[in-house]
């Protein structure tokens, strides 16, 4: 099965700046794919290049197994929610969606039911006749999300989709995105790593225009071979843990301890032994979870190397 989106060695320069510096990406069909990186890493540029809004200097791009973006091959099959989308202020919500639906090539007969479904999806049914200028920032963002999903494109690129949504609406949109797994490939760029962890099955870390790592979320957060303990009171009994669980590695970050275990262990066996030791040594446990978390893995990968030390004085 071909990927929904594939970049190989893509370079994009703005003057002397290499915004994309040989970027590789493989977005599997039907996946929810998180794009993570610092400000200026090249995420927005990559999305714009994928959909033909910017031209790459070098490299190859394949969209839905049909080569780089071309209006003939891809019209109606891909969509983008830009980071700072804006709509004409006088246009009314339903009228605007009809307009974008026609641009997506949707048949006129299918427009009304699709728009009804999407307005319900993003909770804007009662604002269908409102002009855009009368919507709040979060409502405009929800309208933009509805627009990106019009016509059920095979690949949807969402740049910071949940920005500005209140917690209830963000949860609703997260659920709706999850429902599309397996039906559409959805690429989400976001700095909210807990949102990405709740949504994505694949993640790529991008820094300085290059992919630093791409894998399934389960592998990135090491679900099959590590457990995270959030500790309450007490001090981690490292000597005893090392003596009784010799093949387990312990990393402590504040009150969070990540135990990595080899394939000869199971999470269950580790928990049985570790919890007994914690209880016997008076260490309080607030929470236990399989795997690490996306934020810690990202911080580890993107950590700057320590500054060079000056040579010791002779």
Closer residue to ligand ATP (CB): 104 or 214? 214
State yes or no: residue 39 binds ligand ATP (CB under 6 A).
yes
The residues, ordered by sequence, that sit 6+ positions from 9 with a Cβ below 8 Å of its Cβ are: 22, 23, 24, 58, 59, 60
Q: In angstroms, give the least distance from the CB of 119 to ligand ATP.
A: 28
Residue among 19, 157, 221, 226 that touches ligand ATP (CB under 6 A) = 19
Give 3 or 45: the residue with its C-beta nearer to ligand ATP.
Answer: 45
For ligand ATP, the closer of residues 39 and 235 by Cβ is 39
- Restricted to residues 234-293, the positions that interact with ligand ATP (CB under 6 A) are none
Least distance to ligand ATP from the beta carbon of 188, Å? 12
Give me the 52-91 binding string for ligand ATP, x by CB under 6 A, dash otherwise. ----------------------------------------
Minimum Å gap between C-beta 203 and ligand ATP is 15
- The smaller minimum CB distance to ligand ATP, of residues 43 and 211, is found at 43
* Nearer residue to ligand ATP within complex by CB, 46 or 226: 46
- Torsion sign over Cα 225, 194, 169, 84: negative
Q: Which is nearer to ligand ATP, 39 or 263 (CB)?
A: 39
Q: Which string of DSSP letters, residue by residue, matches 198-250?
A: HH-SEEEEEETTEEEEEEEHHHHTTTTTEEEEEE-SS---HHHHHHHSTT-EE
Q: Which of 34, 42, 101, 291 binds ligand ATP (CB under 6 A)?
A: 42
Which stretch, 43-51, 144-152, 228-236, 253-261, contacts ligand ATP (CB under 6 A)? Answer: 43-51
Candidate residues 5, 10, 31, 43; the one interacting with ligand ATP per rule CB under 6 A = 43
Binding site for ligand ATP (CB under 6 A): 14, 17, 19, 37, 39-45
């Amino acid at each position: 099965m071909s990927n929904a989106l594939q970049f190989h060695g893509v370079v994009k320069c703005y003057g002397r700046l290499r915004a994309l510096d040989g970027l590789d990406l493989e977005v599997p069909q039907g996946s929810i794919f998180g794009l993570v990186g610092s400000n200026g890493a090249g995420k927005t540029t990559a999305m714009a290049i994928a959909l033909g809004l910017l031209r790459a200097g070098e490299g190859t791009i394949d969209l839905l197994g049909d080569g780089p973006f071309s209006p003939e091959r891809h019209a109606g099959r891909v969509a983008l929610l830009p980071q700072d989308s804006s709509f004409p202020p006088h246009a009314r919500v339903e009228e605007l969606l009809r307009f974008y639906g026609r641009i997506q090539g949707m048949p006129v007969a299918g427009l009304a039911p699709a728009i009804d479904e999407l307005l319900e999806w993003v909770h804007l049914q009662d604002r269908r006749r409102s002009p855009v200028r009368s919507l709040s920032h979060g409502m405009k963002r929800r309208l933009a999300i509805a627009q990106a999903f019009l016509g059920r494109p095979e690949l949807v690129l969402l740049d910071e989709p949940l920005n500005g949504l209140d917690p209830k609406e963000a949860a609703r949109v997260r659920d709706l995105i999850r429902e599309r797994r397996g039906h559409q490939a959805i690429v989400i760029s976001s700095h909210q790593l807990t949102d990405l962890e709740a949504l994505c099955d694949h993640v790529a870390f991008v820094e300085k225009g290059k992919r630093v790592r791409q894998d399934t979320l389960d592998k990135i957060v090491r679900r099959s071979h590590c457990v995270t303990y959030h500790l309450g009171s007490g001090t981690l009994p490292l000597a005893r843990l090392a003596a009784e669980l010799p093949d387990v590695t312990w990393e402590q970050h504040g009150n969070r301890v990540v135990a990595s275990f080899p394939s000869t262990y199971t999470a269950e066996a580790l928990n049985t032994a570790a919890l007994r030791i914690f209880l016997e040594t008076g260490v309080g446990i607030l929470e236990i979870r399989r795997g690490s978390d996306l934020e810690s893995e990202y911080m580890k990968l993107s950590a700057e190397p320590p500054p060079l030390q000056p040579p010791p004085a002779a």
